[in-house]
A and B are shown apart, each in its own frame.
Chain A
Amino acid sequence: MTANQAMIENYRNSFLKEVEANVEEGEWVKMCMQCGVCSGSCPLGKFWDHPPQEIFMMIRAGKRDQVLGSDSMWMCTSCYNCIVRCPRELPITHIMHGLAHYAKRLGLVPANQPTAKFAQKFWDNLMAKGRVNELKLGLSLYFMNGFGEGVKVAMKNQKLGMNMMKAKRMNPMEIMGGHAVQDLSGFQKAIKKAAELEDARIAQPGG
């Protein structure tokens, strides 16, 4: 049974309970009074399939697949406009990230979702050396949408790159592998242990 199936089994009739138990700040969802201020305040709102207000209603209405498979929460740029304006002080931004994270754990992210792709690249980059290699991360981003596109973007940003090198903000030698944290294997062990704990928690629904 996949983690996703286990969750469906466990929270058969209450997606709200599932969200409360598993999604960061999920216990706030029920506090939403459907006023709409968050949706109207979101600068990217018109690109969302379902604005936050609607997501909260869908959670309560048990629309599990539509919510977790949605592109919407991945559109959040953490501008915090909604949080400061919500009359009920819901931590909306955090809930959006919590939902995205949960959907990712259950393998429900829509294919080719750009924010999810970037997040994965960032993670992989960080895991390799225990620190972010900005040069490699930047390049992998440029080429995220194919080789031709990558060359074009790289050319466009050439001057910026040169300036960063001059200002010692970027070291071209980092391309050779880059430097790592002091105790790289210790770091990787710690992360592995954390991942195990997290997986165990998810595998034990309601935990």
Chain B
Amino acid sequence: MTEVVATNETILVVGGGISGMTAALEAAETGKQVVLVEKRPYLGGRVSQLYKYFPKLCFPTCGLEINQRRAKMNPNLRVLTMAEVMDIKGEKGSYTASVKLSPRYVNENCTACGDCEKAVETEFDDEYNYGLGKRKGAYLPYRMAHPQRYVLDPNIVETDDGKKAKDACKYDAIDLDMSEETIDFPCGAVIWATGWRPYDAAKIQPYSYDRIANVITSVEFERMADPSGPTGGKLVRPSDGKEARKVAFIQCAGSRDRNYLLHCSRICCMASLKQCTYVSDAYGEDADISVYYIDIRAIDRFEDFYQKVKGIEQVKFIKSKPAAVVADKDGNPVVHGVDTEGYKRFEDTHDLVVLAIGMEPSVDKDDFPVDIQINREGFIEAAPENGGVFAAGCASDALDVNRAAQHATGAALRAIQAVTGAAGVEG
């Protein structure tokens, strides 16, 4: 049975992405007890799936590493992975959280040597790579995963592969008898940092995501650009593996549209501008990049980055929300639309189309285990009715990492105030 030491002064953080980690660490470093609950087998959230960060084009791993080190060193922080909050009862200053822990089938003896992975055979879609590649049934979710501990896919536990994995482990780290458990513990405040997920691109029917292999989403493109990703960092066409030199970015795919998501996802203009540099870095003068947009929203100091990308000769900007993407007989995606500057029709053939997919809240409106104010876009509103529950990062709005971390720091302060108040009442 997993033990969690907690009191009414404990802060519960739900979601271990960059926002949840930031909030948890800020609070823990002031001396508060913090329990961080993360659904995935590792911390870092969606940031761990990015290749580079705009605007500096540095690697997210470096920031994540610092946070991971802070987490390891802090005795006030308890991290639960593969964990989900099922219910939160009570009120500000005295909640009881009920958390479900899914079995990992691998205990802390694991040294991440990888022998189990070599021993097993069955492969599954790799969720870390948004299904672009495969992973084995015994796997390390990604190279830098924290905790550095393998995971067994529940589907292999009762198969031959399960036994093979167990036999291959020299450290007795594989425990096929682990089972799901639910634990209850008290807390005085909750920081809700469950982040975002990419909007389902197949719903945008005119863009043919579910019908044309060479139409992909921006999150998949991030994985493709990563040298440790499914294509080894090569920007290629999923249909035939050929180089993708002529690339189209379609902005607002799902966002700012009453048929899909009402809001502007805010970061996708910057994400596409960043991804333009991936293509021009890979193919230099042979790159041919088109960005189809309604308007480019590179806010505040990001304007500099926009100007920089505008300066790349191989990048064209076309002011138009395309009407449709269709495949020609060779499987090339053809983008159709009318250009707002001149009202000319176009029919442009590309190697690859990247949909700058919108960000939606990762938790559906009706699935919150606690009473909370949700706005019409599905994000958490800051409201007194929320009591001791505070949103952090993309659970509150579509934000970039910098703004998400700032927001998370604010949430940490509010949570600290809430539990400090609770202590005052008790003492």
A contact set with B: CB distance below 8 Å: 33-37, 39-41, 45-46, 50-51, 53-54, 84-89
Whether B321 and A87, one on each chain, are in contact in the complex, defined by CB atoms closer than 8 angstroms, is: yes
Whether A34 and B257, one on each chain, are in contact in the complex, defined by CB atoms closer than 8 angstroms, is: no
In the complex, how many angstroms separate the beta carbon of B340 from the nearest chain A beta carbon?
5
Q: CA separation between A53 and B319, bound complex, in Å?
A: 13
| Interface stretch of the complex, out of B27-35, B136-144, B237-245, B331-339 | B331-339
Q: CA separation between A57 and B324, bound complex, in Å?
A: 22
Question: Could you list 20 A-B pairs, sorted by A, with CB under 8 Å?
Answer: A33-B256, A35-B340, A36-B319, A36-B322, A36-B337, A36-B339, A37-B323, A40-B321, A40-B345, A45-B338, A46-B345, A51-B338, A51-B343, A53-B338, A53-B343, A84-B259, A85-B206, A85-B323, A87-B258, A88-B258
Whether B259 and A40, one on each chain, are in contact in the complex, defined by CB atoms closer than 8 angstroms, is: no
Whether B345 and A35, one on each chain, are in contact in the complex, defined by CB atoms closer than 8 angstroms, is: no
In the complex, how many angstroms separate the beta carbon of B253 from the nearest chain A beta carbon?
11
The residue that B323 contacts in the complex, of A34, A40, A54, A88, with Cβ under 8 A, is A40
The list of the 6 closest CB pairs from A to B, nearest first, reads A40-B323, A87-B257, A39-B338, A35-B321, A40-B337, A41-B323
State whether the Cβ of B294 lies closer than 8 Å to any Cβ in chain A: yes
* Interface secondary structure of B, over-half rule: loop
Whether A89 and B321, one on each chain, are in contact in the complex, defined by CB atoms closer than 8 angstroms, is: no
Whether B340 and A45, one on each chain, are in contact in the complex, defined by CB atoms closer than 8 angstroms, is: no
Q: CA separation between A53 and B339, bound complex, in Å?
A: 10
Residues 146-167 of chain B, each 1 if its beta carbon lies under 8 Å from chain A, else 0: 0000000000000000000000
State whether the Cβ of B19 lies closer than 8 Å to any Cβ in chain A: no
Whether A41 and B257, one on each chain, are in contact in the complex, defined by CB atoms closer than 8 angstroms, is: no
Q: CA separation between A26 and B272, bound complex, in Å?
A: 36
Instruction: Write out the residue numbers on chain A whose beta carbons fall within 8 Å of the beta carbon of B336.
Output: 40
Whether A35 and B259, one on each chain, are in contact in the complex, defined by CB atoms closer than 8 angstroms, is: no
Whether B257 and A40, one on each chain, are in contact in the complex, defined by CB atoms closer than 8 angstroms, is: no
Interfacial residues of chain B within 314-348, with CB under 8 A of chain A in the complex? 319-324, 336-340, 343, 345
Q: CA separation between A51 and B340, bound complex, in Å?
A: 10
Q: How many residues of B contact A (CB 8 A)?
A: 20
Q: Which residue of B lies closest to A81 (CB)?
A: B323
Instruction: Write out the residue numbers on chain A whose beta carbons fall within 8 Å of the beta carbon of B319.
Output: 36
Instruction: Write out the residue numbers on chain B whose beta carbons fall within 8 Å of the beta carbon of A87.
Output: 252, 256-259, 321
Whether A39 and B343, one on each chain, are in contact in the complex, defined by CB atoms closer than 8 angstroms, is: yes
In the complex, how many angstroms separate the beta carbon of A75 from the nearest chain B beta carbon?
14
Q: CA separation between A45 and B339, bound complex, in Å?
A: 13
Q: CA separation between A128 and B339, bound complex, in Å?
A: 46
Whether B324 and A40, one on each chain, are in contact in the complex, defined by CB atoms closer than 8 angstroms, is: yes
Instruction: Write out the residue numbers on chain B whose beta carbons fall within 8 Å of the beta carbon of A40.
Output: 320-324, 336-338, 345
The residue that B321 contacts in the complex, of A37, A51, A54, A84, with Cβ under 8 A, is A37
The residue that B294 contacts in the complex, of A35, A45, A54, A86, with Cβ under 8 A, is A35
For the complex with contacts A39-B343, A53-B343, A85-B323, 8 further pairs of A-B residues with Cβ separation under 8 Å are: A36-B321, A36-B323, A36-B337, A37-B322, A41-B206, A53-B340, A87-B252, A87-B257
Q: Which residue of A lies closest to B346 (CB)?
A: A40
Instruction: Write out the residue numbers on chain A whose beta carbons fall within 8 Å of the beta carbon of B323.
Output: 36-37, 39-41, 85
In the complex, how many angstroms separate the beta carbon of A105 from the nearest chain B beta carbon?
27
Instruction: Write out the residue numbers on chain B whose beta carbons fall within 8 Å of the beta carbon of A46.
Output: 345
Whether A36 and B340, one on each chain, are in contact in the complex, defined by CB atoms closer than 8 angstroms, is: yes
Instruction: Write out the residue numbers on chain A whose beta carbons fall within 8 Å of the beta carbon of B294.
Output: 33-35
Q: Which residue of B lies closest to A49 (CB)?
A: B343
In the complex, how many angstroms separate the beta carbon of B257 from the nearest chain A beta carbon?
4
Q: CA separation between A35 and B337, bound complex, in Å?
A: 10
Whether B343 and A50, one on each chain, are in contact in the complex, defined by CB atoms closer than 8 angstroms, is: yes
Q: Which residue of A lies closest to B294 (CB)?
A: A35
Q: CA separation between A41 and B336, bound complex, in Å?
A: 9
Q: CA separation between A84 and B252, bound complex, in Å?
A: 17
Whether B258 and A89, one on each chain, are in contact in the complex, defined by CB atoms closer than 8 angstroms, is: yes
In the complex, how many angstroms separate the beta carbon of B262 from the nearest chain A beta carbon?
9
In the complex, how many angstroms separate the beta carbon of B114 from the nearest chain A beta carbon?
48
Q: CA separation between A87 and B251, bound complex, in Å?
A: 13
Q: CA separation between A34 and B345, bound complex, in Å?
A: 14
Q: CA separation between A39 and B320, bound complex, in Å?
A: 10
Q: Which residue of A lies closest to B251 (CB)?
A: A35
Whether B324 and A36, one on each chain, are in contact in the complex, defined by CB atoms closer than 8 angstroms, is: no
Report which residue of B259, B319, B338, B345 has the largest number of chain A beta carbons within 10 angstroms of its beta carbon: B338
Q: CA separation between A84 and B205, bound complex, in Å?
A: 12
